[in-house]
Amino acid sequence: MGDLARILLVAPMAAAAITAERRLARIWPLPFPRSLDEIDAEPERLLDLLTRPSRGLLAASIPAGAAGAGLVRRDGPDLDPGKRSTTGMIDMRYHAADEAGHAVRVVVKLQSGRGMPLHIQAIRAALEPGIAREIEFYRRLAPIVPVRVARPLFADAVTFVNRVCLVVEHVESTTPADSRGCSLDAMRALLANAARLNAGFLGRLSSPATSWIPARSGLDFAKWIEGFIRKAEPWYLEAWRALARYFAPRPVTLVHGDCRPGNMLFTGDADVHATNGSETDAAPWPLPGARVPDVVMSDWEAVNIAPLMWDFTYATVIGLRIGDRAAWLDRLLDEFLASLAAGGVPAVDLDRRTCRVEVDLLAVVLACIALVVYEHNLWSRQGNTPEDIRAWSGRVGRAVSVSDAAAMAAALGLQVESMRRLQGHVTERLSAIGS
């Protein structure tokens, strides 16, 4: 069944199911709580999730037979207020067989796609039946990825009504606000982890651990935007299709997909926040021996298969201030390519000039995605702050505007004027969004 046919046949049923489940929540049973308020009202439900054998139980953190002694809800994500209704830190107290009091601190995440319009939730349910990406990541990939992740305790989903429940052990850490930018030390640590992840799965995408991901090549991971731009100007469609043709044969691998500092947990006492005064200032390159934070990669809702340079491009465009990226992009790219090589990526896939052009091309892809997201309000209630949105749109627009139009046009087989027209269009639209 083709994508369009699946949407026409399945999406209306999914939308009806999602709506009905919300309205009938009191009599519609789920195998896990729907909200943090439900956990507050019935703390024993969380205790049961973490002790009794079930499909969702991944690692029992509380001994079987333990008796609950209440819970304390801590504050939710400080940097993302919109997540507080669906993500919470909880101290679960219990008495074990030794009758001593114990507590375990966990992070509970409920319902994916918070605030996403109903029709988008329904389309996703139709195109990816049975898939809740972050749940699948923790069930299938967390044990084998070559990067540190929070220890998962429970992960389950009822995808047709867009309900998920994820419980992971809490990690004492710091997360920088994307709008403020992150330090170069933090970005280097993040990119080193991304390189290990990307290198570790190049050529290993047919295993059961990753075969559930629908994207398989090129820009498959972004093909959903085609439905939104099908009525765009011919020159815009031509450029997008040229991008798709270019990346179709290029190497792809497992990517985090939303690889930005605001989605990471940095541990240790190194400063992870940008220290330069303004968005356009550049910080000095860290001195040898500087303290480097450890990184726990989190927020895997966008895990995907994409071009080899996607996580690098995304992280440096979204996570670095404009001045820092302008000053240090080439040096960061050299480090990233060296890390990929150390991870076993063949030299033929690491040509420096080709990879540099692909970073520019993927910045254009990111800009096209951002325009669809913003102009169609797809994630308008996802908890992202106005400060983050202004910073992201400005950084994406800047990354595109300073890209080498001639090199990109040559790679895509387009006229330089066409490439410059695209650059000007996305930069202008993103500037309007950020203003």
Residue ranges matching CATH 3.30.200.20 in the chain: 3-168
Residue 82 — very low, low, confident or very high, per pLDDT cuts 50/70/90?
Answer: low
Residue 119 — very low, low, confident or very high, per pLDDT cuts 50/70/90?
Answer: low
Q: What is the rounded CA–CA span in Å between residue 9 and residue 107?
A: 37
Q: φ and ψ at 140, to 5 degrees?
A: -110, -35
Of the two residues 308 and 63, the one the predictor is more confident about is 308
Which class is 3-168 in CATH?
alpha beta
Of the two residues 431 and 420, the one the predictor is more confident about is 420
pTM of the model: 0.94
8 Å CB contact between 56 and 155: yes
Structure tokens at 421: 């027209």
Residue 186 — very low, low, confident or very high, per pLDDT cuts 50/70/90?
Answer: very high
Q: What is the rounded CA–CA span in Å between residue 408 and residue 309?
A: 15
Residue ranges matching CATH 3.90.1200 in the chain: 172-434
Burial profile 113-123: b = 16 or more Cβ within 10 angstroms, e = fewer: bbbbebebbbb
User: Is the pLDDT assigned to residue 101 strictly greater than 60?
Assistant: yes
Q: What is the rounded CA–CA span in Å between residue 18 and residue 7?
A: 15
User: Is the pLDDT assigned to residue 363 strictly greater than 90?
Assistant: yes
CATH numeric code, 172-434 = 3.90.1200
Q: What is the rounded CA–CA span in Å between residue 98 and residue 272?
A: 42
Of the two residues 208 and 275, the one the predictor is more confident about is 208
Neighbours of 403 (CB within 10 A): 19
Q: φ and ψ at 27, to 5 degrees?
A: -120, 5
Residue 81 — very low, low, confident or very high, per pLDDT cuts 50/70/90?
Answer: low
User: Is the pLDDT assigned to residue 7 strictly greater than 80?
Assistant: no
